[in-house]
Amino acid sequence: MMDELIAGFTSHLSEAMEVGKKAKFSNTDNSLMNVLVCGLGGSGIGGTIISQLVSDKCALPITINKDYKIPSFVNQDTLVICCSYSGNTEETLEMYQQAYDKGAEIAIITGGGKFGALAEKNDHNMIQIRGGLPPRAAFGLSFPQLFFVLNQYGLINDDFIGEVESAIKLMDAEEDFVQTEAMKIAKKLHKTFPIIYTEAPMEGVAVRFRQQIAENSKMLSSHHVIPEMNHNELVGWRTPNEDLSVVFFRSKDEYYRNTARIEKTKEVAGKYTDNVNEIYAKGEGRIQQALYLIHFGDWITYDLAELKQIDSVEVDVIEGLKGILAELK
């Protein structure tokens, strides 16, 4: 099933674009000063990624919140975007209530559930997407809606539409290559502890990959970013360990000084493990490159599960935790 969902990534993106284009928001009387994106897990990672992709386009600061409590700066001049694919994420529902009590401008992205009902009851702007998938596999349906929400509020222009549509064409053209190369990388990561490195503007993509390794492949991994890791983690490479593997997410648009840093980091890590891998993003611009790397990474995590002969869909421990929390008052 997961392989079918990953293979359907571009069709999900296409569906999302059609949904987003039809969204019609009511105008707000609030003078927006900042943005807070609330969401967790597969629903929340989109906020991390979008904040980086639009950092040079959106004039307002965007903060990502993945907790029960919202920051004290939230007020009537804050746009709070609540993302919950199931519509029932308890942490996001608590954040919503706090934002609502503070009179914030609220927009909702959901597949239904309690958030669908709240949007209708309290007359919030909402983009509703098709439900029924594992949240992490619905990324293609939910993530583009963040662009549309920001656009509806006049915070970014609509250039993203062409960029996402170009990314869809790119990934469809590269699908055979991606699947072949993903399996090659998966075989090298199998039975190792992967360490993921990338440039800071692509940290959200690295986080997504780490999350997918955990959920799909049932493996632990770590991530860090250039240049920050050069000020601390680089010194940690001191002991040979062939149980470690390294994955660099690369881009032809890297800042030249970061390129030099990455090359030196490869040299240092390579002294202690031979398992150093690079994945270069294809596409023009950050949106295309991010989506390409996300899709590539998703295939790696599925292939890892296949190599381990485990179910990539199963997340019983998470469901067990939800059951415990449901019993709490």
Q: Residues with catalytic annotation?
A: 215, 231, 322
Residues 6+ apart with CB under 8 A from 211: 41, 42, 45, 136
| Ordered DSSP codes for 115-166 | HHHHHHHHT-EEEE----S-GGGGHHHHHHHHHHHHHHTTSS-SHHHHHHHH
Q: 3-state class of 110 per DSSP?
A: strand
276-280 and 222-226 beta bridge pairing? unpaired
The C-alpha atoms of residue 46 and residue 44 are separated, in whole angstroms, by 5
Residue type, 234: L
Is the Cα dihedral 140, 142, 143, 146 positive or negative? Answer: positive
Inter-axis angle of helices 41-53 and 285-308, to 10 degrees? 150
The C-alpha atoms of residue 58 and residue 266 are separated, in whole angstroms, by 34
Residue type, 166: S
In angstroms, the Cα distances linking 236 to 240, 241, 269 are 11, 12, 10
> Token pair for residue 23?
């969204």
Residue 285: CB atoms within 10 A of its CB come to 15
The C-alpha atoms of residue 114 and residue 134 are separated, in whole angstroms, by 17
